A and B are shown apart, each in its own frame.
Chain A
Amino acid sequence: MDSVWQWFLWLYQEHGIKLTIFYDSWDRARFFKGIWTTVHLSFVCIVLSIVIGVAGAWLQMSNLKWMRRIVAGYIQFFRNTPPLIQLYFFYFAVDTAIASLFDIHGGVLSSYGWAVVSLSFFAGAFNVEIFRSGIEAVPGSTIEAAEALGYTRRQVYQYITLPLAFRVCLPSLNNNLINLLKTTTVAYAIAVPETLYVSNQIWSDEYNVREMMAVVWIVYIVLVGVLVWLMHRWERAIRVPGFGQ
């Protein structure tokens, strides 16, 4: 491994391509930590946003008019306001409000915590609509058949509607999750030490904007590529022949 790092040092000395993240152990550590932060921030947000999507789609089928309205309001609010302002709103405004309300010193959640909350709600709003469109695609006769077999409303949702809806809406869910991964860069604004943020620190310290920009770009393209690949594998693994596309 050491010879690889040495090669990058040689690259700098011979050609002036300054990739400190490979031969400088301090920069290397913080850069890879940044990538790791991006990965687990994305992972946590993906899981939470799917949970919000499933729960929201369930609540939208509720018999209570007000419950449906609240969910619709939530969706419209998060879809039609900028994610960056949502993030600031949570991190600066909501955090301060909660802290002063309960008299907590030093904030309620860290910047990472608020990034998770804000981005999950943002992607979750889109997921609710995606899951709903999937649920609408499940044939009514299938649900009637399940009811005839004595399934309760929750059981129908859990065992019949949701598994089928999931397969229908996977392509659009796919798109939204990729978008979520790309949106995690916004966490830069509240100093979450993810890839873009640490890269910014590195290029400020080392004056290698050009090289770091290229590296950051490649990192995100690769991360998106990996997510696309995983989702496609998953799509194929859970495919029901003759159902969906």
Chain B
Amino acid sequence: MKVRQMKSSFKIKTTTDLPVMLPFAPSGGGTWTPRDVVRYSFQPQFAWAMIATLALWLFVDSALAQVQGDPNQTVLQTLIKWTPLMLFGAPGEFGGFVLNIAVSFIAMALGTFLGIWLGIGQVSKNDYVRRVSWAITQLFRNSPWLVLLFMVMLLVPFSVKIGGTQYDIPGWTKATVALALPIMANVSEILRGAIASIPTSQWESAESLAFSRTQTMWQIILPQCVKRMIPPWMNWYCILTMSTPLISILGVSDGMTLTQDALAAEGRSEFLIPMYLWLMSWFFIYSYPIAQLTQRLERRFAVKN
């Protein structure tokens, strides 16, 4: 027993009980290759389960259409008919599921940008800045997304006059800004946590090397925060993507709105379940790999103790 333990501790260097931080990429280097990403976010069993479900469903679907005596309108045909609309929106307009994804991208970028400044504000030396940043963070973290959406959509005017010209603000841009607000607050909180987790000795050694506070922050502390922030940041991206259909409540023609339009046009209750599941499956296929990758990164980056 003892011998075996000794042997293994000599042989496998990567498994240790000591509190160590693993290298950034699974292959050991500093950067992730596309292969690493695929390996970490994709499971072959998952793909097989999807294919099996799809095959079973197609069989049941065509059988049901035969039984009901309307073989020309199977559920599959109806789904295919409406898919372009649900995916890309009405011709000549920007909408559909693609809009959901676009909104999630822009809101995430905007929210991250603002959140980083707010997060730095939370650790500022200035008492006033710190308190205001803290208050803004808490306010937007604790308010429901839908309430924020309503506020921005109803209180921001739908067109503004700048220098005599009237500019229309499309609904989806306002919705994007509204969704960026809670992201901003949460990124701010993630950043504050990450900065707090950097050992104080880092600050001290930077000071002894004559770095100014700004230099220390941007050249020493923040680069180290990036790695710790990635998993929670990706988690928030998933939550944001799952919240984008909320914009349909406020009349933006995203995937959800158009699905309901399609259902209304068909007017047949047996299409309800497949249509909703169809739309949900897009969100699922988009989000599941990201969630898996996040989980594994979390496990990988976790300091053992």
Contact = CB atoms under 8 A, between A and B. Distances in A.
A189 B277 contact: no
Interface string B113-154: 000000000000000000000000001001111110011001
Nearest to B274: A93
Contacts of A93: 272-273, 275-276
Nearest to B273: A93
A217 B151 contact: yes
B283 A85 contact: yes
Interface stretch (A21-29, A180-188, A230-238): A180-188
Taking chain B's interface residues, is the majority helix, strand, or loop, or is none over half, making it mixed? Answer: helix
Nearest to A90: B276
Q: Which of B242, B243, B279 has the most A CB atoms < 10 Å from its CB?
A: B242
B269 A209 contact: no
A183 B246 CA distance: 11
Interface in A208-227: 209-210, 213, 216-217, 220-221, 224-225
A94 interface: yes
A185 B146 contact: yes
Nearest to B285: A80
Interface string B227-257: 0000000000010011111101100000010
A89 B279 CA distance: 10
Contact of B272 (A83, A97, A225): A97
Q: How large is the interface on B (under 10, 10 to 19, 20 to 34, 35 or more residues)?
A: 35 or more
Contact of A178 (B142, B256, B283): B142
A84 interface: yes
A183 B151 CA distance: 16
Taking chain A's interface residues, is the majority helix, strand, or loop, or is none over half, making it mixed? Answer: helix
Contacts of B256: 82, 84-85, 88
B288 interface: yes
A228 B39 CA distance: 39
B224 interface: no
B280 A89 contact: yes
A81 B280 CA distance: 6
B216 interface: no
Nearest to A200: B150
Contacts of A217: 143, 147, 151
A17 B121 CA distance: 34
B283 A84 contact: no
Contacts of B47: none
A236 to B, nearest CB: 21
B245 to A, nearest CB: 5
A80 B238 contact: yes
B273 A94 contact: yes
A99 to B, nearest CB: 9
Contacts of A178: 142
Interface string A66-87: 0000000000110111111110
24 contacts: A80-B288, A82-B242, A82-B243, A84-B246, A85-B256, A86-B280, A88-B256, A93-B276, A97-B269, A97-B272, A183-B144, A184-B144, A185-B144, A185-B147, A186-B246, A196-B146, A196-B150, A200-B150, A209-B155, A213-B147, A217-B143, A217-B151, A221-B142, A224-B142
Given A82-B245, A85-B276, A182-B144, 11 more contacts: A80-B242, A84-B246, A84-B249, A84-B256, A85-B256, A88-B276, A93-B275, A96-B269, A188-B146, A189-B249, A220-B147
Interface of A: 76-77, 79-86, 88-89, 92-94, 96-97, 100, 178, 182-186, 188-189, 196, 200, 209-210, 213, 216-217, 220-221, 224-225
Top 4 closest pairs, chain A to chain B, by CB:
A93-B272, A182-B144, A185-B146, A185-B144
